[in-house]
Protein backbone atom coordinates (compact mmCIF):
# COMPACT_ATOMS: atom_id res chain seq x y z
CA UNK A 1 0.00 0.00 0.00
CA UNK A 2 1.52 3.39 -0.93
CA UNK A 3 2.43 6.01 1.65
CA UNK A 4 0.28 9.08 1.06
CA UNK A 5 1.66 12.62 1.22
CA UNK A 6 -1.17 14.10 3.28
CA UNK A 7 -1.77 17.83 3.68
CA UNK A 8 -0.98 17.64 7.40
CA UNK A 9 2.48 16.23 6.66
CA UNK A 10 3.23 18.97 4.14
CA UNK A 11 1.92 21.61 6.52
CA UNK A 12 4.14 20.42 9.36
CA UNK A 13 7.15 20.46 7.05
CA UNK A 14 6.42 24.02 5.92
CA UNK A 15 6.13 25.12 9.54
CA UNK A 16 9.53 23.61 10.33
CA UNK A 17 7.92 20.81 12.31
CA UNK A 18 8.90 17.95 10.07
CA UNK A 19 9.64 14.62 11.66
CA UNK A 20 13.15 13.25 11.50
CA UNK A 21 14.85 16.34 12.97
CA UNK A 22 15.68 14.24 16.02
CA UNK A 23 15.47 10.57 16.84
CA UNK A 24 13.86 8.96 19.84
CA UNK A 25 14.27 5.42 21.09
CA UNK A 26 12.46 4.95 24.40
CA UNK A 27 8.90 5.91 23.53
CA UNK A 28 6.99 4.10 20.79
CA UNK A 29 3.96 6.34 20.12
CA UNK A 30 0.42 5.07 19.66
CA UNK A 31 0.35 6.41 16.12
CA UNK A 32 3.26 4.21 15.07
CA UNK A 33 1.86 1.17 16.88
CA UNK A 34 -1.41 1.51 14.99
CA UNK A 35 0.43 1.95 11.70
CA UNK A 36 2.50 -1.17 12.41
CA UNK A 37 -0.64 -3.19 13.14
CA UNK A 38 -2.20 -2.16 9.80
CA UNK A 39 1.00 -3.01 7.90
CA UNK A 40 1.20 -6.45 9.51
CA UNK A 41 -2.50 -7.16 8.86
CA UNK A 42 -1.87 -6.79 5.14
CA UNK A 43 1.27 -8.92 5.19
CA UNK A 44 0.63 -11.81 7.61
CA UNK A 45 -1.83 -14.68 7.11
CA UNK A 46 -4.34 -15.06 9.93
CA UNK A 47 -3.14 -18.51 11.00
CA UNK A 48 0.44 -17.23 11.47
CA UNK A 49 -0.63 -15.27 14.55
CA UNK A 50 -1.04 -18.54 16.48
CA UNK A 51 2.67 -19.31 16.41
CA UNK A 52 3.61 -15.66 16.84
CA UNK A 53 1.65 -15.44 20.07
CA UNK A 54 2.95 -18.76 21.40
CA UNK A 55 6.56 -17.76 20.74
CA UNK A 56 6.17 -14.45 22.55
CA UNK A 57 4.29 -16.05 25.46
CA UNK A 58 7.08 -18.57 25.95
CA UNK A 59 9.89 -16.06 25.56
CA UNK A 60 8.32 -13.75 28.16
CA UNK A 61 7.09 -16.60 30.37
CA UNK A 62 3.47 -15.41 30.33
CA UNK A 63 0.15 -17.21 30.11
CA UNK A 64 -1.25 -14.44 27.94
CA UNK A 65 0.32 -11.43 26.25
CA UNK A 66 -2.55 -9.02 26.97
CA UNK A 67 -5.61 -9.02 29.20
CA UNK A 68 -9.01 -9.00 27.52
CA UNK A 69 -12.34 -7.60 28.59
CA UNK A 70 -14.50 -9.58 26.20
CA UNK A 71 -17.47 -7.31 26.79
CA UNK A 72 -15.46 -4.43 25.36
CA UNK A 73 -13.01 -6.14 23.02
CA UNK A 74 -15.40 -8.61 21.48
CA UNK A 75 -14.28 -12.09 20.38
CA UNK A 76 -10.79 -13.16 21.40
CA UNK A 77 -8.38 -14.50 18.78
CA UNK A 78 -4.64 -14.98 18.49
CA UNK A 79 -4.53 -12.03 16.11
CA UNK A 80 -6.43 -9.79 18.51
CA UNK A 81 -4.15 -10.84 21.39
CA UNK A 82 -1.05 -10.05 19.33
CA UNK A 83 -2.41 -6.69 18.19
CA UNK A 84 -3.54 -5.64 21.68
CA UNK A 85 -0.11 -6.59 23.03
CA UNK A 86 1.65 -4.56 20.33
CA UNK A 87 -0.61 -1.57 20.98
CA UNK A 88 -0.64 -1.61 24.80
CA UNK A 89 2.66 -2.99 26.09
CA UNK A 90 4.42 -0.22 28.04
CA UNK A 91 7.79 -1.74 27.19
CA UNK A 92 9.00 -0.23 23.91
CA UNK A 93 11.41 -3.11 23.32
CA UNK A 94 8.56 -5.60 23.54
CA UNK A 95 6.67 -3.69 20.86
CA UNK A 96 9.75 -3.83 18.64
CA UNK A 97 10.18 -7.53 19.45
CA UNK A 98 6.69 -8.21 18.10
CA UNK A 99 7.33 -6.30 14.88
CA UNK A 100 10.74 -7.86 14.28
CA UNK A 101 9.48 -11.37 14.96
CA UNK A 102 6.57 -10.92 12.56
CA UNK A 103 8.55 -9.41 9.69
CA UNK A 104 11.94 -11.02 10.20
CA UNK A 105 10.89 -14.64 10.14
CA UNK A 106 8.64 -16.96 8.15
CA UNK A 107 5.31 -15.51 9.29
CA UNK A 108 4.91 -13.00 6.49
CA UNK A 109 3.78 -13.61 2.92
CA UNK A 110 7.04 -13.76 0.90
CA UNK A 111 5.63 -11.51 -1.82
CA UNK A 112 4.57 -8.97 0.83
CA UNK A 113 7.83 -8.79 2.77
CA UNK A 114 9.67 -6.12 0.75
CA UNK A 115 6.60 -3.87 0.71
CA UNK A 116 5.98 -4.32 4.46
CA UNK A 117 9.61 -3.57 5.33
CA UNK A 118 9.64 -0.46 3.15
CA UNK A 119 6.41 0.81 4.69
CA UNK A 120 7.56 0.08 8.24
CA UNK A 121 10.82 1.93 7.66
CA UNK A 122 8.92 4.95 6.32
CA UNK A 123 6.76 4.95 9.46
CA UNK A 124 9.88 4.79 11.64
CA UNK A 125 11.12 7.96 9.93
CA UNK A 126 7.76 9.73 10.07
CA UNK A 127 7.56 9.13 13.82
CA UNK A 128 11.19 10.17 14.44
CA UNK A 129 12.06 6.71 15.72
CA UNK A 130 15.74 5.85 15.47
CA UNK A 131 15.25 2.32 14.17
CA UNK A 132 15.37 0.56 10.83
CA UNK A 133 14.58 -2.92 9.52
CA UNK A 134 17.47 -4.34 7.55
CA UNK A 135 18.73 -7.71 6.33
CA UNK A 136 21.93 -8.78 8.05
CA UNK A 137 22.26 -12.24 6.52
CA UNK A 138 23.24 -10.96 3.10
CA UNK A 139 25.37 -13.98 2.31
CA UNK A 140 22.33 -16.30 2.23
CA UNK A 141 24.36 -18.92 4.06
CA UNK A 142 22.88 -22.44 3.84
CA UNK A 143 23.15 -22.61 7.64
CA UNK A 144 20.16 -20.31 7.89
CA UNK A 145 16.64 -21.21 6.84
CA UNK A 146 15.57 -17.67 6.06
CA UNK A 147 16.91 -14.22 5.46
CA UNK A 148 17.25 -12.63 8.87
CA UNK A 149 15.66 -9.19 8.94
CA UNK A 150 16.28 -7.33 12.18
CA UNK A 151 15.38 -4.02 13.73
CA UNK A 152 18.56 -2.07 14.41
CA UNK A 153 19.14 1.22 16.16
CA UNK A 154 20.46 4.00 13.92
CA UNK A 155 21.95 7.10 15.51
CA UNK A 156 22.77 8.47 12.07
CA UNK A 157 21.28 7.30 8.77
CA UNK A 158 24.42 8.44 6.95
CA UNK A 159 26.73 6.43 9.22
CA UNK A 160 24.38 3.47 9.02
CA UNK A 161 24.39 3.43 5.22
CA UNK A 162 28.06 4.35 4.74
CA UNK A 163 29.70 2.26 7.47
CA UNK A 164 27.44 -0.22 9.24
CA UNK A 165 25.65 -1.76 6.24
CA UNK A 166 28.86 -2.06 4.15
CA UNK A 167 30.52 -3.81 7.09
CA UNK A 168 27.80 -6.46 7.09
CA UNK A 169 27.99 -6.84 3.31
CA UNK A 170 31.71 -7.56 3.54
CA UNK A 171 31.47 -9.77 6.62
CA UNK A 172 28.70 -11.87 5.04
CA UNK A 173 31.39 -13.63 3.01
CA UNK A 174 32.12 -17.10 4.40
CA UNK A 175 35.65 -16.24 5.54
CA UNK A 176 34.30 -13.64 7.95
CA UNK A 177 31.31 -15.48 9.38
CA UNK A 178 32.68 -15.38 12.92
CA UNK A 179 33.18 -11.63 12.77
CA UNK A 180 29.75 -11.24 11.17
CA UNK A 181 28.03 -13.04 14.05
CA UNK A 182 29.93 -10.95 16.60
CA UNK A 183 29.07 -7.67 14.92
CA UNK A 184 25.44 -8.76 14.68
CA UNK A 185 25.46 -9.33 18.46
CA UNK A 186 26.96 -5.87 18.93
CA UNK A 187 24.09 -4.36 16.93
CA UNK A 188 21.52 -6.26 18.98
CA UNK A 189 23.01 -5.06 22.25
CA UNK A 190 23.12 -1.54 20.85
CA UNK A 191 19.38 -1.61 20.13
CA UNK A 192 18.66 -2.79 23.65
CA UNK A 193 20.93 -0.17 25.24
CA UNK A 194 23.41 -2.72 26.62
CA UNK A 195 26.36 -0.41 26.11
CA UNK A 196 29.14 -2.49 27.67
CA UNK A 197 28.07 -5.55 25.68
CA UNK A 198 27.88 -3.40 22.54
CA UNK A 199 31.55 -2.44 22.97
CA UNK A 200 32.70 -5.96 23.84
CA UNK A 201 31.05 -7.60 20.84
CA UNK A 202 32.06 -4.84 18.43
CA UNK A 203 35.69 -5.27 19.37
CA UNK A 204 35.46 -9.03 19.16
CA UNK A 205 34.28 -8.52 15.58
CA UNK A 206 37.20 -6.15 14.95
CA UNK A 207 39.73 -8.66 16.27
CA UNK A 208 38.10 -11.56 14.41
CA UNK A 209 38.30 -9.59 11.17
CA UNK A 210 42.04 -9.07 11.61
CA UNK A 211 42.56 -12.73 12.56
CA UNK A 212 40.71 -13.85 9.45
CA UNK A 213 42.86 -11.61 7.26
CA UNK A 214 46.03 -12.97 8.88
CA UNK A 215 44.87 -16.56 8.41
CA UNK A 216 43.91 -15.95 4.77
CA UNK A 217 47.28 -14.35 4.07
CA UNK A 218 49.24 -16.76 6.32
CA UNK A 219 50.68 -13.92 8.38
CA UNK A 220 52.07 -14.96 11.76
CA UNK A 221 51.82 -18.22 13.68
CA UNK A 222 48.73 -19.25 15.65
CA UNK A 223 47.12 -15.84 15.19
CA UNK A 224 44.03 -16.95 17.13
CA UNK A 225 46.01 -16.23 20.30
CA UNK A 226 47.24 -12.80 19.19
CA UNK A 227 46.12 -9.63 20.95
CA UNK A 228 44.62 -6.71 19.03
CA UNK A 229 47.91 -4.79 19.14
CA UNK A 230 49.84 -7.77 17.77
CA UNK A 231 47.30 -8.19 14.97
CA UNK A 232 47.49 -4.50 14.10
CA UNK A 233 51.28 -4.80 13.95
CA UNK A 234 50.90 -7.58 11.37
CA UNK A 235 48.52 -5.43 9.33
CA UNK A 236 51.21 -2.78 8.91
CA UNK A 237 54.17 -5.13 8.69
CA UNK A 238 52.60 -6.93 5.73
CA UNK A 239 51.71 -3.71 3.91
CA UNK A 240 47.97 -4.00 4.24
CA UNK A 241 48.29 -0.24 4.32
CA UNK A 242 50.85 1.02 1.72
CA UNK A 243 53.90 2.91 2.95
CA UNK A 244 52.89 6.16 1.28
CA UNK A 245 49.47 5.94 2.93
CA UNK A 246 51.01 5.35 6.32
CA UNK A 247 53.21 8.39 5.85
CA UNK A 248 50.36 10.66 4.81
CA UNK A 249 48.02 9.32 7.48
CA UNK A 250 50.21 9.18 10.57
CA UNK A 251 47.13 9.08 12.78
CA UNK A 252 45.87 5.82 11.28
CA UNK A 253 48.04 3.60 13.46
CA UNK A 254 46.94 5.57 16.53
CA UNK A 255 43.32 5.07 15.52
CA UNK A 256 43.75 1.32 15.07
CA UNK A 257 46.00 0.76 18.09
CA UNK A 258 44.28 3.11 20.48
CA UNK A 259 40.80 3.92 19.28
CA UNK A 260 38.94 0.65 18.97
CA UNK A 261 40.89 -1.67 21.32
CA UNK A 262 41.29 0.94 24.06
CA UNK A 263 37.57 1.58 24.18
CA UNK A 264 36.97 -1.96 25.38
CA UNK A 265 40.00 -2.05 27.66
CA UNK A 266 38.91 1.02 29.56
CA UNK A 267 35.14 0.72 29.44
CA UNK A 268 33.93 -2.78 28.77
CA UNK A 269 36.53 -5.51 28.77
CA UNK A 270 37.89 -5.69 32.31
CA UNK A 271 36.54 -6.00 35.86
CA UNK A 272 35.13 -2.78 37.27
CA UNK A 273 36.16 -3.42 40.88
CA UNK A 274 33.86 -2.07 43.58
CA UNK A 275 32.80 0.91 41.47
CA UNK A 276 30.14 0.48 38.78
CA UNK A 277 31.40 1.83 35.48
CA UNK A 278 28.68 3.49 33.43
CA UNK A 279 29.15 3.50 29.67
CA UNK A 280 27.16 6.34 28.05
CA UNK A 281 25.11 5.53 24.97
CA UNK A 282 26.94 8.08 22.80
CA UNK A 283 30.31 6.44 23.56
CA UNK A 284 28.98 2.98 22.71
CA UNK A 285 27.53 4.37 19.46
CA UNK A 286 30.79 6.08 18.57
CA UNK A 287 32.86 2.94 19.14
CA UNK A 288 30.36 0.77 17.24
CA UNK A 289 30.43 3.05 14.20
CA UNK A 290 34.21 3.48 14.36
CA UNK A 291 34.55 -0.30 14.47
CA UNK A 292 32.31 -0.67 11.42
CA UNK A 293 34.36 1.87 9.45
CA UNK A 294 37.62 0.19 10.44
CA UNK A 295 36.32 -3.25 9.44
CA UNK A 296 35.30 -1.93 6.01
CA UNK A 297 38.73 -0.36 5.60
CA UNK A 298 40.60 -3.56 6.56
CA UNK A 299 38.53 -5.95 4.44
CA UNK A 300 38.61 -3.70 1.38
CA UNK A 301 42.36 -3.25 1.83
CA UNK A 302 42.87 -7.02 1.97
CA UNK A 303 40.86 -7.42 -1.23
CA UNK A 304 43.05 -4.89 -3.00
CA UNK A 305 46.30 -6.75 -2.29
CA UNK A 306 47.96 -8.52 -5.18
Mean pLDDT of 209-216: 92
Per-residue DSSP letter, 250: T
Judged against a pLDDT cut of 50, whether residue 4 lies above it is answered with: yes
Residues 142 and 287 in one domain: yes
Residue 149: predicted pLDDT: 84
Q: Closest Cα to residue 208, out of 241, 170, 239?
A: 170
- Beta strand 131-135 with 149-153 is antiparallel
The predicted-structure confidence for 30-75, as pLDDT tens digits, reads as follows 999 999 999 999 999 999 999 999 999 999 999 999 887 654 456 8
Q: Closest Cα to residue 184, out of 138, 145, 148, 136?
A: 136
Whether the Cβ atoms of residue 82 and residue 47 lie closer than 8 Å to each other: no
Residue 219: predicted pLDDT: 92
Residue 191: predicted pLDDT: 77
The predicted-structure confidence for 81-94, as pLDDT tens digits, reads as follows 999 999 999 999 99
Judged against a pLDDT cut of 80, whether residue 130 lies above it is answered with: yes
> Of 34-48, 109-123, 160-174, 274-288, which gets the smallest average pLDDT?
274-288
The predicted-structure confidence for 239-288, as pLDDT tens digits, reads as follows 887 777 666 554 555 655 566 676 666 666 555 554 445 778 888 888 88
List Cβ<8 Å contacts ≥24 apart for 141-144: 141/172, 141/174, 141/177
> Of 44-48, 70-74, 221-225, 226-230, which gets the smallest average pLDDT?
70-74
Whether the Cβ atoms of residue 207 and residue 232 lie closer than 8 Å to each other: no
Residues 170 and 43 in one domain: no
Judged against a pLDDT cut of 50, whether residue 16 lies above it is answered with: no
Whether the Cβ atoms of residue 147 and residue 169 lie closer than 8 Å to each other: no
Judged against a pLDDT cut of 80, whether residue 292 lies above it is answered with: yes
Q: Where are the alpha helices (DSSP H) in the chain?
A: 7-14, 30-43, 48-60, 70-73, 78-88, 92-104, 110-126, 157-159, 165-171, 177-191, 195-217, 228-237, 243-248, 251-254, 260-267, 281-304
Residues 166 and 263 in one domain: yes
Residues 145 and 234 in one domain: yes
Residue 4: Cβ within 10 Å count: 7
Number of domains observed in the structure of the chain:
2
Q: Classify residue 68: in a domain, yes or no.
A: yes
Q: Classify residue 10: in a domain, yes or no.
A: no
Residues 92 and 230 in one domain: no
Gap between the Cα atoms of 40 and 29, Å rounded: 17
Q: Classify residue 242: in a domain, yes or no.
A: yes
Q: Classify residue 104: in a domain, yes or no.
A: yes
Burial of 282 (0-12, 13-18, 19+ CB in 10 A): exposed
Residues 85 and 181 in one domain: no
Q: Classify residue 14: in a domain, yes or no.
A: no
Q: Which stretch of DSSP H or E encloses residue 153?
A: strand 149-153
Mean pLDDT of the chain: 80
Q: Which domain holds residue 178?
A: 131-306
Residues 51 and 151 in one domain: no
Q: Classify residue 2: in a domain, yes or no.
A: no
Residues 178 and 86 in one domain: no
Q: Which of 104, 129, 154 is the last residue of a domain?
A: 129
Residues 67 and 199 in one domain: no
Per-residue DSSP letter, 122: H
Per-residue DSSP letter, 1: -
Residues 142 and 95 in one domain: no
Amino acid sequence: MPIFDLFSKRSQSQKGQSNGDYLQYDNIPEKFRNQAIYILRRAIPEDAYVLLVHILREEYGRGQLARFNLGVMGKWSYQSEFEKFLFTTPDSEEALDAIELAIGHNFIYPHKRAEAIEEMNVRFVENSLGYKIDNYRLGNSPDYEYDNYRITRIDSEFIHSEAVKPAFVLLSENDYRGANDEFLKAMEHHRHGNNKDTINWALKAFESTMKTICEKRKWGNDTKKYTANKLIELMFKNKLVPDFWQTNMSSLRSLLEGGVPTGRNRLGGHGQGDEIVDVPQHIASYILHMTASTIVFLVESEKSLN
